[in-house]
Amino acid sequence: MRTQVAIIGAGPAGLLLSHLLYKAGIDCVILERRDRAYVESRIRAGILEQITVDLLRQVGVNERMDREGLAHDGFAMATGEETIRIDMAALTGKNVMVYGQTEVTRDLIDAAIERNIPLLFEAENVAVHDVTGAKPIVTWTRNGKQEKLEADFIAGCDGFHGVARASIPADKLSLFERVYPFGWLGLLADVPPCDHELIYASHERGFALASMRSHTRSRYYVQVPLTEKVEEWSDERFWDELTVRLGPDVAPRITRGPSLEKSIAPLRSFVAEPMRYGNLFLAGDAAHIVPPTGAKGLNLAASDVAFLAEGLIDHYKGSATGLELYSTRALSRIWKAERFSWWFTSLMHRFPDTDAFGRRMQMAELDYIKGSETARRTVAENYVGLPLR
Ligand code: RFL
Ligand code: PHB
């Protein structure tokens, strides 16, 4: 088999890239290790920046998102004592869209099948070869049979634990990492959200987030120590803790219900530089991870593949510039999102070494944000997403 671009991974990065290439008339094949049901059921992100929404519209995979997605003009930061509303629309003229990653993924897969974009699920033992040569190769096994694909380029869109970054010699990459000493326990339930906007709460007992998927489906998170096991959290225990952390004003508006899903995600900041090795390009979580506090992970995956598609389109038009600039362009946006996510995480969470002074610093910063339109605009500008360039 032969194609122009071999894409490893059918997450948001790989799928969106395939549609951007399709629109430009560039052939690709997507190889995904898991089956379709597994890929579509991974519950993760919920917030799309306008740039991501625009990209989905650009590739024509926007019909259901525009019908079912909820535009949000603001969100709240709560301290237990006060609530600060960040009016994104007034401060930046932009908003964000609540539309789950599961829905984005489902729409992109449906459209890929409709457009006959080759999408191979259950491709096991994917390996890349000769990536520094002119004819890179991807091999895999499927139903016990060894398969092979020749390509001009390989896009490693296979997430943090994928094979693409792992195939690059260690001395060709610089890695930057911070692992946080806590995780997020998330719960999804078919109950109406406690508020029409998201609430990020910084409480003495730890962080909590009230989010949603629709008017009838809520997504909540509480910060937990990494030693915690999900089995130790009955639904009742989760709702009790959430109620305390969201504070007395919000508590009466929380509707409890049985969990559809409950899981713990560790928090990490991570960047691998550069995002290119020969003809292998990394995009999305394969190259970087942000803690979910800023809602940036999926959105960075989208902006990466926008830069990568631009480079590939340039290449097939005869210019190497876009691909040469890919890593630099992408990393410039990534590092700013890394900074915002790290800052927002540091401000809102309780760290094991957060003493009385540290807590006062957090409270003083939140009070400053409350009183300063300039500070609120800075938060809003980063949350809605910085421009591509
Ligand atoms: P993905 O989604 O991990 O997809 C990678 C795909 O590659 C496949 N794969 C392989 N395929 C073939 N061969 C191999 N060897 C392979 N290894 C892996 C995998 O099966 C998978 O299908 O990466 P991608 O496309 O880069 O997308 C990144 C996003 O998924 C991620 O950044 C976000 O989910 C992060 N995130 C959030 N991002 C936001 O923008 N807004 C949010 O509100 C938000 N909330 C979140 C989040 C992530 C969370 N968790 C669980 C980490 C909330 C949470 C709790
Ligand atoms: C979510 O709805 O899953 C979500 C929303 C905002 C975040 C992180 C996760 O910052």
pLDDT tens, position by position, 45-55: 899 999 999 99
Q: Which atom of ligand 1 is nearest to the CA of 289?
A: 32
Query: Are the C-beta atoms of 213 and 46 separated by less than 8 Å?
Result: yes
Q: Give the pLDDT score at 82.
A: 87
- Please tell me if the CB atom of residue 155 comes closer than 6 angstroms to any atom of ligand 1: no
Residue 128: inside a domain: yes
pLDDT digits (tens, 9 = 90+) for 143-153: 999 999 999 99
Q: Give the pLDDT score at 39.
A: 95
Distance between Cα 384 and ligand 2 center (Å): 13
Question: Mean pLDDT lowest for which of 60-69, 73-82, 277-286?
Answer: 73-82
- Average of per-residue pLDDT across 291-320: 98
Q: Give the pLDDT score at 9.
A: 98
Q: Which atom of ligand 2 is nearest to the CA of 44?
A: 3
Residue 330: inside a domain: yes
Domain count, the chain: 1
- Average of per-residue pLDDT across 243-261: 96
What is residue 389's three-state secondary structure?
coil
pLDDT digits (tens, 9 = 90+) for 363-383: 999 999 999 999 999 999 999
Q: Give the pLDDT score at 73.
A: 98
How far is 120 from 117, CA to CA, in rounded Å?
Answer: 10
Residue 374: inside a domain: no
Nearest alpha-carbon partner for 10 in 168, 159, 113: 159
Nearest alpha-carbon partner for 272 in 203, 169, 357, 199: 169
Q: Mutual orientation of helices 12-23 and 50-58 as an angle, nearest 10°?
A: 40
pLDDT digits (tens, 9 = 90+) for 137-188: 999 999 999 999 999 999 999 999 999 999 999 999 999 999 999 999 999 9
Q: Which atom of ligand 2 is nearest to the CA of 213?
A: 2
How far is 174 from 290, CA to CA, in rounded Å?
Answer: 17
How would you list the strands of the sheet with 280-282, edge to edge? 119-120, 28-31, 5-8, 153-156, 280-282, 276-277
Helices (H), ranges, the chain: 12-23, 36-41, 50-58, 63-68, 88-92, 101-114, 235-246, 297-316, 321-348, 356-371, 373-384
- Average of per-residue pLDDT across 198-202: 98
Q: Name which residue sits closest to atom 7 of ligand 2, judged by CA.
A: 295
Q: Name which residue sits closest to atom 5 of ligand 2, judged by CA.
A: 46
Q: Name which residue sits closest to atom 1 of ligand 2, judged by CA.
A: 46
The pTM (predicted TM-score) of the whole model is: 0.97
- Average of per-residue pLDDT across 222-244: 97
Pocket of ligand 1, candidates 30, 101, 211, 305: which has the most ligand atoms within 8 Å of its Cβ, to mutate? 101
Q: How confident is the model at residue 221 (pLDDT cuts 50, 70, 90)?
A: very high
Sign, Cα dihedral of 118, 119, 121, 125: positive
Q: Give the pLDDT score at 352.
A: 93
Distance between Cα 21 and ligand 1 center (Å): 20
Residue 256: inside a domain: no
> What lines the ligand 2 site, CB under 6 Å?
45-47, 198, 211, 219, 292-293, 295
Residue 354: inside a domain: no
HSE of 42, CA atoms in CB hemisphere, 13 A? 16
Q: Give the pLDDT score at 43.
A: 86
Q: Give the pLDDT score at 80.
A: 78
CATH number of the domain bearing residue 134: 3.50.50.60
Please give the residue range of the domain that contains residue 39.
5-47+100-177+268-345
Q: Is the pLDDT score of 293 beyond 90? A: yes
- Average of per-residue pLDDT across 118-126: 98
Catalytic residue positions, numbered: 72, 200, 292, 296, 383
- Please tell me if the CB atom of residue 47 comes closer than 6 angstroms to any atom of ligand 1: yes
Q: Give the pLDDT score at 81.
A: 82
Q: How confident is the model at residue 298 (pLDDT cuts 50, 70, 90)?
A: very high
Residue 36: inside a domain: yes
Q: Is the pLDDT score of 234 beyond 90? A: yes
- Please tell me if the CB atom of residue 267 comes closer than 6 angstroms to any atom of ligand 1: no
How far is 377 from 371, CA to CA, in rounded Å?
Answer: 12
Residue 371: inside a domain: no
